Amino acid sequence: MCGLAGFIDLKGSGAEASTVIARMLRQVEHRGPDGSGIWVHGPLAMGHRRLAIVDLSPHGHQPMTSESGRFVITLNGEIYNHRRLRAQLSAAGTRFKGHSDTEVLLALIEAQGLESALQHCIGMFAIALWDQQRRTLYLARDRFGEKPMYYGWHRGRFLWGSELKALRVHSAFERRLNHDAVTLFLRYGYVPSPHSIFQNTWKLSKASILSLSLPISDTEHLNPEICLQRIDSYWSPYIEAERSKRPIFKGDLKEAAGELELLLRDAIGMQMQADVSLGAFLSGGLDSSTVVALMQAQTSRPVRTFCIGFSEQQFNESAYARSVAGHLGTNHSELNIDARSALDVIPTLPHMYDEPLGDSSQIPTFLVARLARAEVKVCVSGDGGDEIFCGYQKYRVGHRIATTPMRRVLGRALSVLPFSIIEKVASPLSPRFRRAFRASRIHNLSLLLQADFTELAELLSAHLDARGLTPDSECILPEGPQLTAFRPSKYLRAAMDLDLAYYLPDNVLTKVDRATMRVGLESRAPLLDHRIYEFTSRVPMELLYKDGHQKPLLREVLTRYVPSALIDRPKSGFSIPLSEWISHELNSWAHDLVSDCGTMNKLGMNSSELRRLLNEHESGRRDHGGALWPALSLVAWATKNL
């Protein structure tokens, strides 16, 4: 796990480039406190900050040059199957100096080319690769977007880096706000790829390769018109499922669980490989409990596990984690936090995340990362389980709405009624409809009932309470799977793929990456081994969701290691008492931000609407916590970064 930075400047000198790249690297020093490296050649400068996990010797130093001298690479992340790839390359005659995964990847690229090499890799990564022979730069990202990569064109220079702060210290960087990104953020609580919060700067989408070929003729400035720039996808979750010629899995639940268990054991076993201390995050939920159970099954030593609890008991799941840890025999640590702990973290968030992020679980995520880093250097998580195994409550709500008889007719009828009347109308309806109504009451129920499947999945992911905060409320996700043509029975699969396209990489994995990297901790997510997704995409949907029960397939695997009594409970998620804190302990902080009209004018936000939401929330008439936190986080970010 590391930090990357680089730029191409046709006018710069070598000495100047070394100074600039060193300044960019200092901004991501927290991602790699164990060492740094710089490579400058002609107009190109590449830099690397190292968090040493595999091959702690100088043979793992980056930037790394291939045996032939043609390629130079910087890698952030891990190639988990590097030992298997090394054996194959060695059998073909390749000789290695060390045992790092970077050296293996570089040899594989030299033998097969970049795209083919990445298709053979199991891992998480962001890569910058310079091909000296073709004068071409390649930037690449892993299949699910675990590791970040920003890039941009600024005043005739091309810049890239692991975090925006590395780009921003370059003198050419233009700090101009992207107002489309602001609108998207207020709607979803994150900035979806390929947008970034600044103009002329983008996030490289997951599973993508950007290639940039420099012009042969002399020129003083770079721009996309004179360079040959392409972005190609080498893997896609929902397209991969459609392209696959493998048959649908025909076995029953126990047979599917047997095959999944083998895949999980292999994925988790590979991700337990490290030359440093390793542990796991354990919340007591299905995802993290499964990962920890299979970790403990593959080692004779107690796995070190870490958990966060809350003073407010209705949000405190630490007892569940403690029970699972006790059954499995892990070496368990936990930390209870309160509003004071949150207040201490909040001022650091705008710098930690570079872009605004409206997921309040970023606070406990940072705190549990800091807790773990005191004991280990690598921590394994259950991230990705909800998107892969159909775990979110919104999937259940959307499925119920999608399969409601005559839902569009009912939606049009409800659209003319006041909210209070709708509650009374809903009471005699079917239990399924009443549950969907209660779960989605913060949204416009009549709108959900009338929506096609694309709109329904998107609306259930949006903060509709925030629609009045910006003048343009029509900005939606840039692209994604087209769900309109799907039958109701296909809704769940398509909604999961929508989250794999945006919510997972741009919210969940961004949150985890910045929080763990801030303290120099590597986080690994074995449930995001792409082989696991490719298997679950073949199993019948009823093995992932049956009669309102979610994750039956994963649950079947876990019950082979943990008694059902320890895990049979409703899903709650990694949430904090946000609504309560905004009304009380965070109230002064919220009012200070709401009164900052100058910052909100820069953002193009409707300050009076934000005040209305806060006042209505404080009065107890409506719970606007889900919309207020992203809006307040955006203003807090802008006060520090604009």
3-class SS letters over 124-156: EEEEEEEECCCCEEEEEECCCCCCCCEEEEECC
Q: Which residue has the tokens 């690297």?
A: 25
Q: How many CB atoms lie within 10 A of CB 345?
A: 18
**For 240-334+357-390+507-566, CATH number?**
3.40.50.620
Given a cut of 50, is residue 95 above it in pLDDT? yes
Please state the rounded mean pLDDT for residues 470-481: 59
Cis status, amide bond into 552, omega within 30 of 0:
no
**Residues involved in catalysis:** 2
Please state the rounded mean pLDDT for residues 437-458: 67
Please state the rounded mean pLDDT for residues 13-18: 83
Lowest mean pLDDT among 317-321, 547-551, 603-607: 547-551
pLDDT at 412: 76
Average pLDDT over the chain reads 88
- DSSP letter for 34, please: T
pLDDT-based confidence at 315, cuts 50/70/90? low
What does the alpha-carbon distance between residue 433 and residue 503 come to, in Å, rounded to a whole number?
26
Residue boundaries of the structural domains of the chain: 2-173+205-235, 240-334+357-390+507-566, 393-466+473-499, 578-641
pLDDT at 444: 62
Q: Which residues pair with 48 in a beta bridge?
A: 4, 37
What does the alpha-carbon distance between residue 6 and residue 387 come to, in Å, rounded to a whole number?
33
Distance, C-alpha 261 to centroid of its chain: 24
Who has greater pLDDT, 248 or 331?
Answer: 331
Lowest mean pLDDT among 170-179, 229-238, 370-379, 414-423: 414-423
Q: What is the pLDDT of residues 121-137, one digit of tens each?
A: 999 999 999 999 999 99
The DSSP result for 353-384, as a single string, is: HSS----TTHHHHHHHHHHHHTT-SEEE--TT
pLDDT at 10: 84
Q: What angle do CA 509, 511, 517 make, to 5 degrees?
A: 95
Given a cut of 80, is residue 611 above it in pLDDT? yes
Q: How far apart are the first and last CA of the chain?
A: 29
Q: How many CA atoms lie within 13 A of 296 on its CB side?
A: 25
What does the alpha-carbon distance between residue 382 and residue 529 come to, in Å, rounded to a whole number?
11
* Closest CA relative to residue 66, chosen from 83, 89, 43, 87: 89
Q: What angle do CA 425, 431, 436 make, to 5 degrees?
A: 75
CATH label, 2-173+205-235, candidates 3.40.50.9100, 3.60.20.10, 3.90.1150.10, 1.20.140.10? 3.60.20.10
Contact 576, 361 (CB under 8 A): yes
Lowest mean pLDDT among 37-46, 244-253, 354-363: 244-253
What does the alpha-carbon distance between residue 537 and residue 497 come to, in Å, rounded to a whole number?
10
pTM: 0.92
Given a cut of 90, is residue 609 above it in pLDDT? yes
Given a cut of 80, is residue 247 above it in pLDDT? no
Beta-sheet strands, E only, within 419-528: 522-524
Burial status of residue 49 (CB atoms within 10 A of its CB: 0-12, 13-18, 19 or more): buried
Who has greater pLDDT, 410 or 64?
Answer: 64
Q: Which residues pair with 364 in a beta bridge?
A: none
pLDDT-based confidence at 39, cuts 50/70/90? very high
Lowest mean pLDDT among 59-63, 222-226, 477-481: 477-481
Who has greater pLDDT, 75 or 240?
Answer: 75
Q: What is the pLDDT of residues 320-378, one digit of tens each?
A: 999 999 999 999 999 988 888 888 999 999 999 999 999 999 999 999 999 999 999 99
Distances (CA, A) of 442 to 80, 184, 554, 627: 42, 19, 30, 10
Do 2-173+205-235 and 240-334+357-390+507-566 show the same overall fold? no
